[in-house]
């Protein structure tokens, strides 16, 4: 049993060593944080994004990402969402490996949870009771993205992303995000 585990671990380490010698860097992982206007544009939301990109060639790339957002500012007491995105990007000026200006389109699906005060009972200026209502909705939508990335070293990058996401249920999520990335 120990021999099989040792052989398996050796094979994995050898594979990683061989893959590590290839310097293609077609994949990168990016973390982003920023703000957006969510819902009908009336909720200021703080967003986090985790994204994996694959460079198809010097002009095209694809990405898959998961976003989390939360807001305590706007018409609702609190609002949060989880979102999945699948995008394709074109680099109209060619990705020269140092600068990459790209335009993206894609599809998005999100789940939003809102909470708001439905009724309040005040006695002599003191809040005695508050009833909350909760709303949960899901929707499919589209991504429109403008993004610029600068490679700081041969592995690390920084970028700025502007986006808008109109959803089929009438919601919209538009904003800006600062991103940090690592070529893998």
101 closest CA partner among 51, 32, 143, 157: 157
- What's the pLDDT score for residue 25? 82
- What's the pLDDT score for residue 39? 75
- What's the pLDDT score for residue 125? 86
61 closest CA partner among 99, 36, 85, 28: 28
pLDDT in tens, the chain (184 residues): 566 666 666 666 666 655 555 556 899 999 999 999 987 767 899 999 999 999 999 999 999 999 999 988 766 678 899 999 999 999 999 988 899 999 999 999 999 998 887 788 888 888 888 788 888 999 999 999 999 999 999 999 999 999 999 999 999 999 999 999 999 9
- What's the pLDDT score for residue 13? 66
Q: Which residue ranges form the domains of the chain, and what is each CATH number?
A: 25-183 (2.40.160.20)
- What's the pLDDT score for residue 172? 93
55 closest CA partner among 34, 20, 30: 30
Cα 45 to Cα 12: distance, rounded to the nearest angstrom: 42
- pTM of this structure: 0.79
């Amino acid at each position: 049993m120990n021999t099989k585990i040792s052989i398996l671990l050796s094979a994995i380490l050898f594979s990683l060593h061989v893959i590590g010698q290839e310097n293609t860097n077609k994949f990168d992982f990016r973390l982003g944080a920023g703000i957006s206007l969510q819902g009908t544009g009336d909720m200021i939301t703080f967003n986090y994004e985790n994204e994996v990109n694959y460079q198809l060639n010097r002009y095209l790339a694809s990405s898959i990402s998961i976003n989390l957002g939360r807001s305590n500012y706007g018409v609702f007491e609190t609002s949060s969402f989880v979102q999945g995105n699948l995008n394709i990007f074109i680099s109209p000026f060619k990705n020269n490996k140092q600068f990459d200006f790209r335009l993206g389109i894609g599809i998005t699906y999100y789940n939003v949870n809102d909470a708001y005060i439905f009724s309040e009972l005040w006695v002599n200026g003191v809040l005695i009771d508050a009833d909350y209502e909760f709303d949960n909705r899901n929707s499919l939508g589209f991504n429109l993205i403008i993004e610029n990335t600068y490679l700081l070293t041969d592995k690390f990058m920084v970028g700025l992303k502007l986006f808008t996401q109109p959803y089929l249920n009438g919601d919209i999520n538009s904003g800006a995000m600062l991103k940090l990335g690592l070529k893998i």
